[in-house]
Amino acid sequence: MSRPTVAVSAPGKVLLAGGYLVLDRGHTGLVFGLDARIHVHVKTLPTSPGLALSEIIVRSPQFRDAEWRYGYRETEHHGGLQINQLKGHSTSTQSRNKFVETALAYALSYVSAHSDTKIGSTSITIVADTDYYSHPGSTPGTVPTRFIDFHVPLTEAHKTGLGSSAALVTAFVAAVLTHYLDEKMLQLHSDSGRRRLHNLAQAAHCAAQGKVGSGFDVAAAVYGSCVYRRFSPSILEELGEPGSPQFSQRLTRVVDESDASNTWDMQIDKAAARLPRGLRLVMCDVDCGSESVGMAKKVLAWRKENPDEAALLWATLQKGNDELAEELLRLAQGITTDSRDYKNLSDTILTIRSLIREMSAKAEVPIEPKVQTDLLDACCRISGVVGGVVPGAGGFDAIVLLVENDALPSLQQFLDTYKTTAESDSGPVIGKVRLLGVKQDFEGLRSEDIKTYADWIR
């Protein structure tokens, strides 16, 4: 059976407000999609006449030795597709890529449950927009500058904190399903198609992480910018492992929401996530990074040990986050006497930052470290910079700023010579700060023109 060559991309994200709170269904997060995307291209693997292969090759050509070869087989008792990494190829890395491997197992198990057609071998190529990584690279030939060769193994690339794993898993499962399933069974841009892709990507991403996360990053990858309330973790608790008896049936019930017990209860409000026309969301990379999983565990441990104190602080933070979203929406709708009057917005951001620092101190977690505080304060003294935060879980990832459009040259000039003067607070000392090229993007998953990747496909 001839299957189409397809390409799908998913955006990165920035959690402007709601870090840690978004882990609890009682709270929400304001997340913006970014125009930095992860792209996945899928085509049938050509074979010689009469030769049948059961192999899937996944490549990430922007990195050195980033190729993974997988064999697959249908397991007994509706266990879905079992994926095994094939060793011994000179071009392939011997290390595992848990996100690729898990996304492939989940996607193919779902396909096998919905189609009697033989899976067939494929070649899958992953390409990332430049701003996902700090490491300098080069632009080969006529390839657009959005794709560069990073000249390092994937394990040595420094992420900028834009949500690459969620964007990868989301684009990956969407591209695989679009390639294998008939369009009548799954339409990428229909409401029902988006919802199923969301559910499958959430399940695969949680499995790859080894835990059930809040899912705001996957929601942004599918739907774009939104105010997000997480799904109940119990939805995925009984799913089990690929290959276990009835896994594909359980996966199908969860993804397709075939009975009331499998209904996903997340809330995704796209209309509530807006930016006024005169403002741009920008990010500044400090090329340090932090371990958000470890930080989250410490914050949640503090919350458990101090429930009353934490509840009051989280409720106050939620109020500030709500006011931030409402003020952005008010400005976007033009309900103001002066379109450039951002004082309320700036004050709200300062209040949120103060509360975040309070939580940081109480939990003994560097959510907004001193070096980041100094950087944010310095940037906010520039005319036209309305405010900024260390987004998401915080730490030493990129900071995010809300900037008036005509203030970008002044911000760039300032960052070109910025040097931190803060003492290291038991963490990295940031060096050169780089203004990333990303900005807000309200679109989620989308199909792409396969010609875009011609210089990267083989």
pLDDT tens string 177-195: 999 998 888 899 999 999 9
What confidence score (pLDDT) does residue 339 get? 47
User: How far is 248 from 262, CA to CA, in rounded Å?
Assistant: 14
Between 74 and 318, whose confidence is greater?
318
Return the percentage of the chain with pLDDT > 70, whole number: 89
Render the burial of 192-201: b for 16+ CB within 10 Å, e for the rest: ebbbbbbbbb
Name the nearest CA neighbour of 174 among 319, 42, 295, 27.
Answer: 42
Please give the DSSP secondary-structure letter assigned to residue 440.
B
What confidence score (pLDDT) does residue 52 get? 55
Q: Which string of DSSP letters, residue by residue, matches 187-234?
A: -TTSHHHHHHHHHHHHHHHHHHHTS----HHHHHHHH-SEEEEPPPTH
CATH 3.30.230.10: which residues of the chain?
Answer: 6-270+442-456
**Which of 3.90.420.10, 3.40.50.720, 3.30.70.20, 3.30.230.10 is the CATH number of 6-270+442-456?**
3.30.230.10
For the question of whether the overall pTM of this predicted structure is more than 0.85, the answer is: yes
Q: Please give the CATH architecture assigned to the domain spanning 276-435.
A: 2-Layer Sandwich (3.30)
User: How far is 354 from 356, CA to CA, in rounded Å?
Assistant: 5
pLDDT tens string 396-427: 878 999 999 999 999 999 999 988 765 545 56
State whether residue 85 is helix, strand or coil.
strand
CATH 3.30.70.890: which residues of the chain?
Answer: 276-435
pLDDT tens string 359-405: 999 999 999 999 999 999 999 999 999 999 999 988 887 899 999 99
What mean pLDDT value characterizes the chain? 89
User: How far is 183 from 3, CA to CA, in rounded Å?
Assistant: 11
